[in-house]
Amino acid sequence: MLDMAVEYSRQRQVGGEPLGNLQAIQIKLADMATELQAARLMVYHAAWLGDQGKSMIKEASMAKLFATEMVNRAAYQTLQIFGGMGYMKETQVERIARDVRVLTIYEGTSEIQRITIGRKLLSNT
């Protein structure tokens, strides 16, 4: 989604200038990139703990919670950047935005991830 939003922001002209010249678009892209980096690092950290033979249940739940909610925010922001074109099947944005919603549901809903994290925090394990 980030790559598509960046490319579209470079190509789409508004008032004779690239859409990406607008600060509001730059802010959306910056937030998406920052959250993507944070999600990656959370996944890497949980994987590293697992590789070390340490408990990583809390960290894996935190990574899943953050990453799946982040990708939904990124999908929404990408739709905002694309505007009406985001709903056209030719852009793939509409399908991805629709499909990412399920990520917060299967393999443990966001609420279940929060419960797991809370329990681990309270158990000191």
* Residue 77, Cβ density class (10 Å: 0-12 exposed, 13-18 middle, ≥19 buried): buried
Pairing of strands 13-14, 17-18: antiparallel
| Other CB atoms within 10 A of residue 101 CB | 12
Which is catalytic among the residues 7, 17, 107, 111?
Answer: 107
Q: Which residues contact 122 (CB under 8 A, 6 or more apart)?
A: none
Rounded Cα distance, 71 and 110, in Å: 13
- From the list 75, 124, 125, the residue with the least C-alpha distance to 104 is 75
Residue 7 is a catalytic residue: no
Q: Which residues are catalytic?
A: 107
